[in-house]
Amino acid sequence: MTGFQTRRILVTLQFDLLILGSGPAGSAAAITAARAGLSVALVDKSAFPRDKLCGGGITGRSARYMTEIFGLQAERDLFLPSTRFRLTFEGRCIGEEPKAPVLQMTMRREFDAELHARAVAAGAQVFAPVRVTAIDPDAPSVTLADGRCLSGRVLIGADGANSAVARALYGRAFDPAEIGFGLEVELDRDLTDDNTTEIDLGAAQWGYGWVFPKNGSITLGVGGVHAKNPDMKAHFRKYLALHAAKLDPERVKCKGAYLPFGAYRKQPGRGSVLLVGDAAGLVDPITGEGIAWAMKSGQFAGEAAIDALHTGKPVMAAYMRRVRYIHTEMAAARRIRALIYSTPVRHYFPRAVERNPSMTRSYLKLLAGEIDYADLGHRVLWRIARRLGGSVLRRPA
Ligand SMILES: Cc1cc2nc3c(=O)[nH]c(=O)nc-3n(C[C@H](O)[C@H](O)[C@H](O)COP(=O)(O)OP(=O)(O)OC[C@H]3O[C@@H](n4cnc5c(N)ncnc54)[C@H](O)[C@@H]3O)c2cc1C
């Protein structure tokens, strides 16, 4: 047992499925399993609604999964549709699409609360806000600060980038050399006059800056591989200055959070314990998109639990079979990332995008979930590799 503190257990409550964390991943696992009749405990350190630092960009893929898994449609005041898209490099426009596939912009406080409420309505029993004092991956069980012990036949770790379940299994949640880091601020809406979504590929190393319009505000941020950006705050101030010249960047208070930017776990869990979403490192290494994969992996883990409890077969095998699809995408994206962010290409890439509007469209189709990385790699990026003599392709990811 991994205990943060020992405490007397007063009562043990038994469930089919224990889920730690009720972000998009945990709520997706909960709704999937509860609808199939499993008894589900959904445990979170926070009561909902709660804040979560995030750009809140709901891609076409995310929108599809949220409808498929939660029955939630995008046509709600929870979302602001953005169909204008601008790709920039250090503030210079290198690609623009006035009629891009729609990106739905949302605030995670309200979005996550909606998903959580739908999981509860399906029958999941909530334990929140609670403090977890011990996790036993072998039982599996979790002990709460009030002395209750929750025991399950399967435990799902959906507790984000700094997952306590991953720490209980592996000693640490992520590899510091691989993890990403992002800084963000919500700004007044009057700084921008339209609903244009912007991605700036030059705002950070092995990452980017973003301006995402919202109902009532805009979210501005920068993020990328932490080890490649030792002074992310300097990148943030520079990018902020490009957009809000009237603001003193030194006085603007931003917030930071880690994101597992392509550092996915090849074996996400052990025995009867499965990791999903950020806890499993399922964030796109290029776009930083994590909400879609959190929901999808949560659904996969919920289905794997249903299968395993009905057949008596190992839950990990049932999960691995399903999650392989996401891993294939992550691995392909990592290879492409090594290509486009490597030093020889970094300065060539913006010019290539500028000259080939199809590259911006491909990026948007990728966000929309209309193509996958296999298509993108073959159709567009090999062209760059050929021009560079193929040398960067031989570098390891
Ligand atoms: C700056 C930034 C910008 C981003 N922008 C985007 C974007 O625009 N679009 C996109 O698709 N993705 C974006 N992402 C990624 C996205 O936020 C994550 O991939 C997504 O939130 C993962 O969902 P999750 O359910 O796995 O984890 P989370 O959303 O982190 O949820 C984890 C849950 O577990 C709970 N928890 C944590 N520890 C414990 C504990 N010990 N006990 C009990 N409960 C616990 C938390 O309270 C939380 O409710 C961004 C990330 C960052 C950092």
- Residue range 357-374, pLDDT digits in tens: 888 888 888 888 888 887
> What distance in Å separates the CA atoms of residue 275 and residue 166, rounded to the nearest whole number?
7
User: What pLDDT, on a 0 to 100 scale, did the predictor assign at position 362?
Assistant: 82
Where does ligand 1 bind, in terms of residues with CB under 6 Å?
20-26, 43-46, 52-57, 62, 132, 158-160, 164, 182, 184, 221, 223, 257, 259, 277-279, 283, 288-292, 294
223 strand-pairing partners: 182, 208
CA of 107 to the centre of ligand 1 (A): 12
Q: Which atom of ligand 1 is nearest to the CA of 130?
A: 43
Mean pLDDT, range 246-255, rounded to an integer: 84
How does residue 89 score in pLDDT terms, banded at 50, 70 and 90? very high
How does residue 192 score in pLDDT terms, banded at 50, 70 and 90? low
From 19, 20, 43, 54, mutation site for ligand 1 pocket: most ligand atoms within 8 A of C-beta: 54
Q: Which residue has the higher pLDDT, 190 or 68?
A: 68
Reply yes or no on whether the pLDDT at 397 is more than 50. Answer: no
Structural domains in the chain plus CATH codes: 2-71+108-176+264-330 (3.50.50.60), 80-105+177-259 (3.30.9.10), 339-394 (no CATH)
Could you identify the residue written with the tokens 């809406």?
189
The pLDDT tens digits of the residues spanning 374-389 come to 776 666 555 655 555 4
The pLDDT tens digits of the residues spanning 306-350 come to 999 999 999 999 999 999 999 999 998 998 888 788 777 777 788
Q: What is the C-alpha R_g of the chain?
A: 21
pLDDT cut 90: percent of the chain above it: 71
Q: Which residue has the higher pLDDT, 108 or 338?
A: 108
Residues in Cβ contact with 191 at an 8 Å cutoff, skipping those fewer than 6 apart: 218, 243, 244
CA of 217 to the centre of ligand 1 (A): 21
pLDDT cut 70: percent of the chain above it: 92
Could you identify the residue written with the tokens 């426009």?
93
Reply yes or no on whether the pLDDT at 42 is more than 60. Answer: yes
Residues in Cβ contact with 48 at an 8 Å cutoff, skipping those fewer than 6 apart: 22, 112, 113, 116, 117, 128
Mean pLDDT, range 248-257, rounded to an integer: 88
> What distance in Å separates the CA atoms of residue 310 and residue 390, rounded to the nearest whole number?
50
Closest CA to 260 of 289, 220, 234: 289
Q: Which residue has the higher pLDDT, 233 or 348?
A: 233
Mean pLDDT of the chain: 90
